[in-house]
């Protein structure tokens, strides 16, 4: 019967190119390396190396077995890491759900180092609307949620502010509202609005439907695209619309009652049923670092007129 030590020696010989190099890397006598390979060949009942030249060469059987042996050793490493994480109370799994309009490449780059810091923790990243994300945390399907403030005090989860996001009113440059020097509440009501709505039917407090004609979409990304297609006007995160604004494919409307847009707080909500471990705490720390709550935002935080 072969041992994990023999499998490790076999892979090391393949990686270093010789028995002597493997012996140096493993701090073993070369004779011990040769004996281990011979015993492995006896266990497998087939030669693994052709020793006729100056350096050992894998036989066809050796080449066929190498990736399987490497996989076994990889699984052994994962097992050891998992056992170590249990000793250190590392989480087996950490689920993070992020409001879809906030999930971008810089945020993923902020979270990416968690893979190296906690290799045994399986991290599940998901995107959802604010209300759907809240429900996922509330129901135990996610441990951490990054959402917009919905104007209500949450009593069944813990939460704290991470930062702010500016929302603006946009439409296609071809839209009748785009040419107005000042857009009134009555103007907005006369034209179709595209509203972001969760699967539960909930809408954010500052971007709910006020028009007599309404389309609904589950993501702010779709709102931008529908506004670009001249379906209607929409209230969207400025950062999400910025590229389309720069390209002239969207126009920011000059709303008279809120010329600077709306500011929504970005909150982090956490499940009370999940015991916070090192990966959980590190993820929270990195989220705080990414958003960096700005001081005293100058824009309005009151909802639009209904």
The answer to whether residues 238 and 252 belong to one domain is yes
The sign of the torsion formed by the CA atoms of 202, 130, 249, 262 equals positive
Among 20-29, 39-48, 181-190, 289-298, name the one with the lowest average pLDDT: 289-298
The CA dihedral of 128, 264, 253, 219, to the nearest 10 degrees, is 0
Rounded to whole angstroms, the Cα distance separating 99 from 146 reads: 6
- Of 191, 195, 171, residue with least CA distance to 252: 171
The confidence band for 158, taking pLDDT boundaries of 50, 70 and 90, is: confident
**Helices marked H in 120-216 — which ranges?**
130-138, 185-190
| Token pair 């077995």: residue | 65
Q: Is residue 298 domain-resident?
A: no
Domain count across the chain: 3
Indicate the residue among 87, 121, 144 that finishes a domain.
87
Question: Does a structural domain hold residue 170?
Answer: yes
Task: Look at the pTM and tell me if it is higher than 0.95.
Answer: no
Longest dimension (CA), the chain: 90
Domain end position, chosen among 58, 87, 116: 87
Helices (H) and strands (E) in the chain, counts: 11, 11
286, 237: one domain: no
Burial tier of 70 (Cβ tally within 10 Å: 0-12, 13-18, 19+)? middle
Output 69 or 80, whichever has higher pLDDT.
69
pLDDT one-digit tens code per residue, 86-138: 555 557 889 999 999 999 999 999 999 999 999 888 999 999 999 899 999 98
Q: Is there a domain that residue 273 lies in?
A: yes
Same domain, 11 and 64: yes
Q: Do 182 and 258 fall within a single domain?
A: yes
- Listed range (50-59, 70-79, 283-292) with the worst mean pLDDT: 70-79
Question: Is 182 domain-assigned?
Answer: yes
- CA gap 47, 51 in Å, rounded: 10
Task: Judge if 139 and 275 occupy the same domain.
Answer: yes
Would you call 169 helix, strand, or coil by DSSP? strand
| Domain end among 87, 115, 130 | 87
Q: What is the pLDDT of residues 208-224, one digit of tens each?
A: 889 989 999 989 999 99
Q: Does residue 262 surpass a pLDDT of 70?
A: yes
Per-residue pLDDT tens over the stretch 232-244: 999 999 999 999 9
Distance CA 58, CA 47 (A): 9
Judge whether 303 lies within some domain: no
Please tell me whether residues 139 and 287 are part of one structural domain: yes
Residue 299 lies inside a defined structural domain of this protein: no
Q: Are residues 13 and 71 in the same domain?
A: yes
* Angle of the 30-44 helix axis to the 4-16 helix axis, nearest 10: 110
Shared domain check, 79 and 43: yes
CATH code of residue 108: 3.40.190.10
Pair 197, 171 in one domain: yes
Identify whether residues 249 and 280 lie together within a single domain.
Answer: no
Q: For residue 66, what is the domain's CATH number?
A: 1.10.10.10
Residue 296 lies in a domain: no
Mark whether 61 and 147 lie in a shared domain: no
The Cα 284–Cα 217 span in angstroms is 29
pLDDT score, position 296: 46
C-alpha 126/C-alpha 104 separation (Å) is 12
pLDDT at 154: 64
pLDDT of amino acid 88 = 52
Backbone region of residue 219 per phi and psi (left: phi > 0; alpha: psi in -120 to 50; beta: other values): beta
* CATH code of the domain containing 217: 3.40.190.290
Bridge partners of 214, per DSSP, are 193
Are 138 and 62 in the same domain? no
Evaluate whether residue 300 is within a structural domain.
Answer: no
| Cβ atoms < 10 Å from Cβ of 193 | 25
Domain range for 213 is 164-263
């Amino acid at each position: 019967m072969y041992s994990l030590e023999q499998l490790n020696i076999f892979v090391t010989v393949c990686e270093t190119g010789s028995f002597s190099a493997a012996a140096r890397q493993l701090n073993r006598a070369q004779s011990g390396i040769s004996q281990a390979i011979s015993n492995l060949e006896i266990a497998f009942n087939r030669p693994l190396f052709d020793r006729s030249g100056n350096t050992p060469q894998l036989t066809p059987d050796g080449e066929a077995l190498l990736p399987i042996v490497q996989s076994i050793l990889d699984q052994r490493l994962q097992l050891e890491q998992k056992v170590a994480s249990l000793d250190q109370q590392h989480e087996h799994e950490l689920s993070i759900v992020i409001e879809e309009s906030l999930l971008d490449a810089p945020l993923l780059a902020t979270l990416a180092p968690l893979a190296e810091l906690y290799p045994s923790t399986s991290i599940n990243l998901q995107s959802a609307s604010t209300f759907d994300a809240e429900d996922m945390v509330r129901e135990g399907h996610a441990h951490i949620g990054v959402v917009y403030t919905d104007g209500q005090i949450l009593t069944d989860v813990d939460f704290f502010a991470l930062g702010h996001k500016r929302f603006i009113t946009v439409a296609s440059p071809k839209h009748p509202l785009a040419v107005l020097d000042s857009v009134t509440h009555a103007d907005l009501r006369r034209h179709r609005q595209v509203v972001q709505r969760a699967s539960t039917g909930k809408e954010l407090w500052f971007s709910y439907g006020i028009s007599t004609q309404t389309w609904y979409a589950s993501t702010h990304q779709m709102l931008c695209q529908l506004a670009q297609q001249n379906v209607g006007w929409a209230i969207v995160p400025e950062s999400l619309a910025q590229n389309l604004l720069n390209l002239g494919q969207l126009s920011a409307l000059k709303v008279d009652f809120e010329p600077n847009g709306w500011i929504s707080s970005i909150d982090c909500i956490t499940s009370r049923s999940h015991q916070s471990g090192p990966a959980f705490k590190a993820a929270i720390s990195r989220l705080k670092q990414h958003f960096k709550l700005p001081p005293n935002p100058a824009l309005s935080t009151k909802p639009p007129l209904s």
